[in-house]
Amino acid sequence: MDNWQQRLPAQILGPPAANSGNNMAVEIVDYNGYRLEVVPVGKGWRVSIYPPGSSLALRESPSTLEKVLKETVTAEAKRIVDARAATK
């Protein structure tokens, strides 16, 4: 295990699939208390949205296999978080 993994609490590391040893770069974005995990998938991107304190991603987390900018899918994830906040 890398030194940085030993220092972080388990909830920051996410579910085992996100940290399975694959050489995929995972970018973690903190947005309004939600954790967004951005990973490449095919030619596109997947953004898993984790509510505060949860180890389970939302079902409506956006992803696309088509070639698009990472920022496009990340912006969609932020819109989902904003919509959830607006309904509370």
Q: Is 14 helix (H, G, I), strand (E, B) or coil?
A: coil
Contact 79, 52 (CB under 8 A): no
pLDDT of residue 8: 38
- Residue 70 pLDDT exceeds 90: yes
pLDDT in tens, 21-57: 455 689 999 999 999 999 999 999 999 999 999 999 9
Give the predicted TM-score (pTM) of the model. 0.72
Contact 44, 73 (CB under 8 A): yes
Task: Report the chain's C-alpha Rg in angstroms.
Answer: 13
pLDDT of residue 24: 67
Q: Is 40 helix (H, G, I), strand (E, B) or coil?
A: strand
Phi, psi of 80 (to 5 degrees): -65, -45
Contact 76, 68 (CB under 8 A): no
> What percentage of the chain carries pLDDT values higher than 90?
67
